[in-house]
Structure formats: structure tokens, C-alpha cells
């Protein structure tokens, strides 16, 4: 798998979160259902995107629990039920997951077990574990669907 190293300035998002479990299959169900709820809440809040849309899903660990935070770039208004998050400037290892959502854990396994150990970098896990960037190339379960996975890193 190919990867790139990219710098990203700090940016802000608004979104909603759900707690995950320690089971991958269950987490795929939770996150898929949560995306449907989140997209519905975007519509209700008049925040639907069109054209050059982008959405993010952040994975965070707080107090020993895992959270999935679906979001969009920050707007001027933060509607009720939405949280504001500021992501600091980081250097990232970026990899494209190509294919169906159900196979994303294979990509994560490859990233954390093979790719990162072969680089001079280690993940930074203080604010976020990683985030997924969704844009016009994402098509739920199609074989040509693309999700960018961004992992904050520092030199080891």
C-alpha cells in the first residue's frame, strides 16, 4: 500500500459522536447506522452539502472508551445537538482505503501492523487516533469507493 506524508494546518469541525465497542463487526454496524442518523441531522439543521462536499469521521479514545465523531467543516452557526472540535496542526501519514466499507479494518490492520512499523514515524494519540476523510470519491460499498485515512504522526 502506498502512503504519503502531509502537513495539515489546524482546522475546525462540527459534528456528533457515538460511543463504540471493542468489537470491529459491531463498530461497523454502529458507525454505519450513526452516519445515517448524522446525515439526517445535517438535513434537519439545513447543513446538507452539495457539489464539492467533504465529511470527516474522527476516532478518539477518552477515559478508556472509544468514540466515533462524524463531522463537517465548521460553519458560522453550531446547531443544537452538534459539538465543535478544533483539530491542531499535525504531520499525517495518509493512506487511501479503496473498496467496500466492510473491508476497512483490513486496511487499518495493514496500516498499523505493516506500514507504520516500516516508517520512521510513530502515531500521536493525544487528541485523535486518526480520521477518515470522505468526499465525492466515496460510494458506500462499491469496489472503487475511496476513503482517505489520516493518522497524526511524529518522528520516532
pLDDT over 90 for what percent of the chain?
83
Calpha distance 16→82 (Å, rounded): 5
Q: Which residues contact 10 (CB under 8 A, 6 or more apart)?
A: 86, 87, 88, 89
**Residue 51 — very low, low, confident or very high, per pLDDT cuts 50/70/90?**
confident
**Residue 75 — very low, low, confident or very high, per pLDDT cuts 50/70/90?**
confident
Does 141 score more than 90 pLDDT? Answer: no
- Grid coordinates standing for 138? 466515496
| Predicted local confidence at residue 85, as pLDDT | 96
| Predicted local confidence at residue 1, as pLDDT | 79
State the total domains in the chain.
1
| Predicted local confidence at residue 49, as pLDDT | 86
Of 54 and 76, the structure prediction assigns the larger pLDDT to 54
**Residue 77 — very low, low, confident or very high, per pLDDT cuts 50/70/90?**
confident
Residue 32, domain extent: 4-155
Nearest to 6 by CA among 66, 95, 116: 95
Question: Which of 30-39, 60-69, 75-84, 116-125 has the weakest average pLDDT?
Answer: 75-84
| Predicted local confidence at residue 64, as pLDDT | 92
The CATH code of the domain that includes 105 is 3.20.80.10
For residues 31-38, average pLDDT = 95
45 within 8 A of 82, measured Cβ to Cβ: yes
For residue 132, how far is the Cα from the chain centroid?
3
Whole-prediction pTM: 0.94
Q: In whole numbers, what is the pLDDT of the chain averaged over residues?
A: 94
pLDDT digits (tens, 9 = 90+) for 81-127: 999 999 999 999 999 999 988 889 899 999 999 999 999 999 999 88
* CA dihedral over 27, 124, 17, 70, signed as positive or negative: negative
Amino acid at each position: 500500500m502506498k502512503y504519503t506524508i502531509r502537513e495539515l494546518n489546524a482546522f475546525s469541525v462540527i459534528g456528533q459522536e457515538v460511543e463504540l465497542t471493542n468489537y470491529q463487526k459491531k463498530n461497523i454496524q454502529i458507525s454505519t447506522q450513526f452516519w445515517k442518523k448524522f446525515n439526517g441531522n445535517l438535513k434537519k439543521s439545513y447543513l446538507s452539502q452539495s457539489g464539492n462536499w467533504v465529511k470527516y469521521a474522527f476516532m478518539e479514545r477518552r477515559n478508556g472508551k472509544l468514540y466515533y465523531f462524524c463531522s463537517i467543516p465548521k460553519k458560522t452557526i453550531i446547531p443544537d445537538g452538534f459539538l465543535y472540535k478544533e483539530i491542531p496542526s499535525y504531520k499525517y501519514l495518509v493512506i487511501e482505503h479503496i473498496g467496500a466499507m466492510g473491508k476497512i479494518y483490513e486496511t487499518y490492520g495493514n496500516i498499523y501492523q505493516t506500514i507504520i512499523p516500516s516508517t520512521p514515524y510513530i502515531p500521536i494519540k493525544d487528541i485523535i487516533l486518526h480520521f477518515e476523510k470522505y468526499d465525492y470519491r466515496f460510494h458506500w460499498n462499491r469496489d472503487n469507493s475511496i476513503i482517505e485515512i489520516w493518522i497524526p504522526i511524529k518522528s520516532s
